[in-house]
Copies of this chain bind each other. A is one copy, B any other.
């Protein structure tokens, strides 16, 4: 009966790890935004964020990636790519979006005064503002032509709060 016994041993269940890194490297083109959002949302869901926070993380990531796709590279550049790194641990999700394009100086980008912005009917210039509003921490590390990074953090503490509220 050892043969039968063997068969009945449980399939190995490898426990979910709530710590770990998820890396994505994809072509820097807007038709990949949907793919990225789907991926980031699933990881955020795994970690245990509530639907609201998953939506925020998804949108912040979209804005960061859209900026790479629109601003980082010259139009003529070929094989341009974009990296998304998601680090998860028990307390937080860290999202790092990296490009290898021309970079910019984030300190010279003023945060829009929303009232003035709306009064002037401006187009664009809301991406970084949204990222800062949606995430708990946002910082840039710019090395033009080498590696330009935006790092965004969302704390999972909110989970408990939102679980209580809902």
- By a beta-carbon cutoff of 8 Å, the part of chain A in contact with chain B is 7, 12-17, 20-27, 29-31, 34-35, 38-39, 42-43, 46, 69-70, 79, 81, 121, 123
Contacts and interface: CB of A to CB of B under 8 A. Distances in A.
A25 B21 contact: yes
A29 B16 contact: yes
Contact of A35 (B23, B30, B43): B43
Contacts of A14: 29-31, 69-70
A41 to B, nearest CB: 10
Contacts of A13: 30
Chain multiplicity (copies): 2
Given A12-B70, A69-B14, A27 B35 contact: no
Given A22-B25, A24-B23, A42 B38 contact: yes
A85 to B, nearest CB: 9
Contacts of A22: 24-27, 35
A7 B79 CA distance: 30
A105 B128 CA distance: 51
25 contacts: A7-B121, A7-B123, A14-B29, A14-B30, A14-B31, A14-B70, A15-B31, A17-B29, A17-B31, A20-B29, A21-B25, A21-B26, A21-B81, A22-B24, A22-B26, A22-B27, A22-B35, A23-B24, A31-B46, A34-B42, A35-B39, A35-B42, A35-B43, A38-B38, A38-B42
